[in-house]
Structure 1
Amino acid sequence: MSRKPSNILYSVDEKPPLGTLIILGVQHATLALLFLVYPLVAAAEAGLSFDDTQILITSCIIFMGLATIAECWPKPGAGMLLVQIPNMAHLPLAVQSMSAGGPAVYATMNLIAAVSQLSLTRFMGVLRAVFPPEICGVAVTMLGVALAEPALRRAFGLSHDATVHIDPLYPMVSFVTLAIIIVLAIFSRGMLRLFAVAIGAAAGWTLAAFVGVAPAPAATFSALPYVDLPHVGWPGLGFSWALVPAAVLTGIISAVDMIGTVVSMQRLNDADWRRADMAQAGRAIRANCVADMGAAVSGGFASASSSASIGVAFATGTTAWRVGAVAGVLMLLAAFSPRLVGALTIIPPPVIGAILIYAAAFLVVAGMELILSRRLSDRRIFTVGLAVMAGLAVAILPQLVESTPHWMQPILESPLSVSTGIAVVLNLFFRIGISQVASQRVTEGENPFTVTTEFLERQGDLWGARRDVIAAAIPVVAEGVEMLLDTGVAQGELEMRARFDENNFDVSLIYKGDPISIPTHRPAPEDLLGDAEAVARFVGYMLSKRADRLVLGKEGERQVLDMRFEH
């Protein structure tokens, strides 16, 4: 069972009061629907007709809602608060596909991307070694960095063109909104903290309307019906060999993005978080893939888990999966209300920017915390540092991306995909030459605590083991070495042998001498004054209580004590 962090009011399996549940669900659903700007931009860039655009948006909303419910629901879902939004990674693929052959080509590329993403779930066990916490930390950090650009652009009222003109009213509204959210999230308690984002957004919208930076409704807004049946349709299937590599890589990027958001929520839910639950990540990816396939065959835009919703969960102190399920239901209902969807598209940009800044700040810090949860050798420092620099390079210098071949640009445009890809490659490369087994000889005249500390800390740094696991293992192993040598159970010397994988840190003490036993009852202290056999029983009892597991064995003529420390 995981231990609830002190800043979480309602953890993953807890049930908030009904009123709280609904209001929090509204917050998450509203934020998710704001990201409909991605498919709207794709439709505008590809020159889709009004009817095709309506189908693209409506289908996207429906399968966002269904995917959110499927991912939040306990098994076979992920059972955690994962709210879906339109997948930003699909934006370049959607524009190119729909420009090349309309919705039919994008539907086919969407299916290929979903299958590519789904295929990775067959290798989740292997992915645990490929994505240790420091690599997941890079992904989480770059999720925050990826949010920074749209967040700051909205906060300062900047457009995509080269002209830079800042209206001071935009940053003022954004600052006030952000300040209210932060003050309520940090200094308030109870309901005010739970609804910090909603209160801040409402105050910011009111201020934006007062100072005149809130967008006016379009002329057609009043003609939109309040309730109407969703309009979706079969787009057909088209094909383009030139877009297949981009579709496959988009699917892989989406899977990496999903792993990053799942790890973030796992970290947020568990004060004692140790390692990623890749089985849970696999369930989340499968639910997302099924939803993307449904969106593809009904003319919609792909979706992905929202990193912004993680920031909202942190701000409200609520990670209950029921909140996500309510948000999913509300998104489904929104598909039946064109007027409601139209209203969401006119929320003031500086208000959206403030919410995204809050979410980005949380993700950057959460990623750093993940990275620093491991002991970092020079190899791992370079892995993390170079990966982050590569992601920042494409974020800060877009001309670098523009100078690459056209087919590579959709991949390189994402700081998340670049950083995570570089981190994975460097992590695998720097594993070369590192043995997963190391040994150290300890003689009777040496200080066992000094030798043990130097040996285990050196190997912990090299292997990237967790700091707390190494710190817990050192006194146990050193005590075992000291008792075996000082009492004469080991004849003059012994060998310490350490092994590491992502699940366990094992240390074996191998010596010539009498075997020890593990008594079921605590031996009397006088046993330390008895014969070697009595002392050996006392050693076995003490080590069995302090290690996660103690196994006795033999290696030729030598005795072996295997101590396991769960990682």
Structure 2
Amino acid sequence: MEFSCGIDERPRPGLLLVYGLQWLAVSVPVILIAGRVAAGLEPAGAAIPYLQRLFLLAAVLLVVQVYMGHRLPIVLGPATVLLVGILASQDAGSAAINASLLIGGLLLSAIALTGFVGHLKRLFTPRVIVVVLMLIAFTLAPVILGLVTEGGDGATATAAFLFAVGFALVLFAAYGLLEGFWRSTVAVWGLVFGTVVYIALFGGVAALPADTALFALPGDLAAPLAIPDPGVLAAFLICYLALATNDLGSIQSVGSLLAAEGMDERVNRGVGVTGLGNVIAGLMGVIGPVNFSLSPGVIAATGCASRFALVPAAVGLGLIAFSPRAIGCMECIPGPVIGVVLAYVMATQIAAGLVFGQESGALETFDGGLIVGIPLLLGTLVAFLPAEAVAGLPAVLRPVLANGFVVGIVTVLGLEHLVYRRRSGGAG
């Protein structure tokens, strides 16, 4: 694939702002989706301060990754696998959960500092990378489905879904018909105009309280800590194994897509910074971050591979963090609009995975197709597991067995390096 800007190239100021808005348009929904769920666990009135802290952490960590970490164009946000651990550990209390996040972050940083992550990197062959690129889109399908059927006072679930289908068709048609500036900002305009149309069709959203401040510092930056019991800590350590797989896969997949040099150093630094971010998350009492593998979809959509395009996005996240009113307004973006924009980005990511699979020769044989197809199907099935089936799993294994992304990655690694090792060989 060819790109208008390389990893270390700086676009012109105008284009830099445009690309930054594109990354911001992707980052905000990513943060809001997990943040909304986690903020709902907070005491009454604490949801907006929680989201402020979450946006602030994402802004700071994004800048650190761009300049000192992996130095790649990768968006980051709350790790959904940690959200699973948080939801399953509510009985332990927030202080024990925060301490578990801190400990997990320390261990993740230690793995990166010792260079052990380099051994893990060898597992990510072209076929595994194709699965990483595509699996996140498939395993996000339940989240997207929940968003596009999220009705309200003025819309039933059916009406919201029909709106989402029509809006998605318009969004994909716009991407196919537009060029240049307008094509690269389809996601941004989708959020804006989609919200306007949704409100026009189904009525306004709930008004913010009159005393919501325009600018204010995030409150309660220091969260309580307590020694977690062994069961809770074990559950979170399993979550961090999944997070490490996700983080490594995200960095490696983007690096391979862009043919980046010095990947050993990039991976070690990137995972190390992610670990540090999780330590800070534990201290602040928010979900720990992870590098998201949806980034190739954004790169493919914009045609820009410059890491510096994420700096304006980080500035935007920082400004949002200091504005309770802005966060309150973004919470009011209709779920179907967010869901369709995410579906748009996921579709471009699937396309990027298919292109990479073709260029690398990963899908030239029937066995190669099975190595990719089986994990995608299995991961998708796990992502749609009913709540009662998830509840029946052992609590300590739930963060792994109920996570479609983790199950899919473990499956593709087993197929690639054990089951089909001698038969598939190489990339094809």
By the TM > 0.5 criterion, same fold? Answer: yes
Q: Which one of 179, 183, 186 corresponds to residue 196 of structure 1? A: 186
Deviation by residue 1:37-59 (Cα, 9 ceiling, x = unmatched): 423323434xx324654553332
Aligned length: 419
Deviation by residue 1:9-35 (Cα, 9 ceiling, x = unmatched): 333223223233224323423432333
Higher-helix-fraction structure: 2
1:387 aligns with 2:375: yes
CA distance in 1, matches of 2:320, 2:375: 40
Give the 3-state SS of the residue equivalent to 2:304 in structure 1.
Answer: coil
Tell me the residue number matched to 1:297: 283
1:139 aligns with 2:132: yes
Kept in 2: contact 1:12–1:319 (CA 8 A): yes
Q: How many percent identity over aligned positions?
A: 21
Tell me the residue number matched to 1:562: none
1:62 aligns with 2:51: no
Measured after TM superposition, the shift of residue 217 of structure 1 is: 2.8
CA distance in 2, matches of 1:153, 1:195: 25
CA distance in 1, matches of 2:286, 2:147: 26
Give the 3-state SS of the residue equivalent to 2:290 in structure 1.
Answer: strand
- Matches of residues 385-534 of structure 1 in structure 2 within 5 Å? 385-398=373-386, 399-430=388-419, 434=422, 462=423, 464-466=425-427
1:215 aligns with 2:211: no
Aligned residue identity for 1:112: I
CA distance in 2, matches of 1:92, 1:375: 33
CA distance in 2, matches of 1:367, 1:248: 30
Aligned residue identity for 2:123: V
Give the 3-state SS of the residue equivalent to 2:171 in structure 1.
Answer: helix
Kept in 1: contact 2:98–2:285 (CA 8 A): yes
**Are the structure 2 counterparts of residues 276 and 414 from structure 1 closer, same or farther at C-alpha, using a change threshold of 3 Å?**
farther
Tell me the residue number matched to 1:528: none
**Are the structure 2 counterparts of residues 153 and 53 from structure 1 closer, same or farther at C-alpha, using a change threshold of 3 Å?**
closer
Measured after TM superposition, the shift of residue 152 of structure 1 is: 2.5
- Structure number with greater Rg is 1
Alignment RMSD: 2.9
Measured after TM superposition, the shift of residue 380 of structure 1 is: 5.0
Kept in 2: contact 1:55–1:300 (CA 8 A): no
Relative contact order, higher structure (CA 8 A, sep 6+): 2
Q: Which one of 66, 77, 83 corresponds to residue 91 of structure 1? A: 83
Kept in 2: contact 1:10–1:317 (CA 8 A): yes
Measured after TM superposition, the shift of residue 279 of structure 1 is: 3.5
Tell me the residue number matched to 1:186: 176
Measured after TM superposition, the shift of residue 419 of structure 1 is: 0.7
Higher-strand-fraction structure: 1
Measured after TM superposition, the shift of residue 374 of structure 1 is: 2.5
**Are the structure 2 counterparts of residues 322 and 155 from structure 1 closer, same or farther at C-alpha, using a change threshold of 3 Å?**
same
**Are the structure 2 counterparts of residues 307 and 249 from structure 1 closer, same or farther at C-alpha, using a change threshold of 3 Å?**
same
CA distance in 2, matches of 1:119, 1:376: 39
Q: Which one of 229, 235, 243 corresponds to residue 232 of structure 2? A: 243
1:79 aligns with 2:71: yes
Tell me the residue number matched to 2:34: 38
Kept in 2: contact 1:71–1:78 (CA 8 A): yes
Tell me the residue number matched to 1:15: 10
Give the 3-state SS of the residue equivalent to 1:85 in structure 2.
Answer: strand
CA distance in 2, matches of 1:234, 1:176: 44
Give the 3-state SS of the residue equivalent to 1:250 in structure 2.
Answer: helix
Deviation by residue 1:183-225 (Cα, 9 ceiling, x = unmatched): 343332221122121122222112111101553334x2x3211
Kept in 1: contact 2:251–2:293 (CA 8 A): no
Give the 3-state SS of the residue equivalent to 1:334 in structure 2.
Answer: helix
Deviation by residue 1:357-415 (Cα, 9 ceiling, x = unmatched): 11222233333444553366676555434323321221233354333222222222211
Measured after TM superposition, the shift of residue 297 of structure 1 is: 1.1
1:128 aligns with 2:117: no
CA distance in 1, matches of 2:110, 2:102: 12
Kept in 2: contact 1:38–1:88 (CA 8 A): yes
Measured after TM superposition, the shift of residue 342 of structure 1 is: 0.8
CA distance in 1, matches of 2:298, 2:367: 35
Kept in 2: contact 1:135–1:424 (CA 8 A): yes
Give the 3-state SS of the residue equivalent to 1:406 in structure 2.
Answer: coil
**Are the structure 2 counterparts of residues 215 and 310 from structure 1 closer, same or farther at C-alpha, using a change threshold of 3 Å?**
farther
CA distance in 2, matches of 1:217, 1:37: 20
Aligned residue identity for 2:79: N
Aligned residue identity for 1:89: V
Tell me the residue number matched to 1:227: 215
